Amino acid sequence: MSEGEVQERMSELLSGTGVSLPQLDDLAGQLLWRIGRVNDDGPVTVRVGLASSAGLFHELPRLRTASDSEIEAAVQESTLRVEWVGARPRGQAER
């Protein structure tokens, strides 16, 4: 996948979150994220949230590891699930 394809797909995934790709770049140093599957046949899931929400990650079901090929396939097949954990950044309404 080219960098342009990745950026386009990321923009699509972020469209329902109220967070733009430039905002995500600005927040990158303040974010925690986990990638995996809740169960063997579940979708590849990306959980992302502010570092201040770290405790909430521990309250969610543990994600099992997803391989690089599983992650790439989920992106290409548009089956990647994105979950925001905790409070949204200031100025971002929950949707």
Taking every pair of Cα atoms in the chain, the longest distance, rounded to a whole number of angstroms, is 36
**Residue keyed to tokens 């391989």:** 67
The amino acid at residue 5 is E
Structural domains in the chain plus CATH codes:
3-85 (3.10.20.570)
Q: Is the pLDDT of residue 93 over 70?
A: no
Among the residue ranges 6-10, 40-44, 61-65, the one predicted with the least confidence is: 6-10
Q: E strands within 37-93?
A: 45-50, 81-85
Cα distance between residue 44 and residue 33, in whole Å: 13
Cα distance between residue 86 and residue 93, in whole Å: 12
At residue 54 the predicted structure's pLDDT band, cuts being 50, 70 and 90, is very high
pLDDT in the model for residue 73? 93
Question: For all residues of the chain together, what is the average pLDDT?
Answer: 85
pLDDT in the model for residue 92? 54
**Residue keyed to tokens 């342009």:** 4
Predicted TM-score (pTM) of the model is 0.69
What pLDDT digit, counting tens, does each position of 28-53 carry?
888 899 999 999 889 999 999 988 99
| 7 vs 56 pLDDT, higher one | 56
CB atoms within 10 A of CB 69: 8
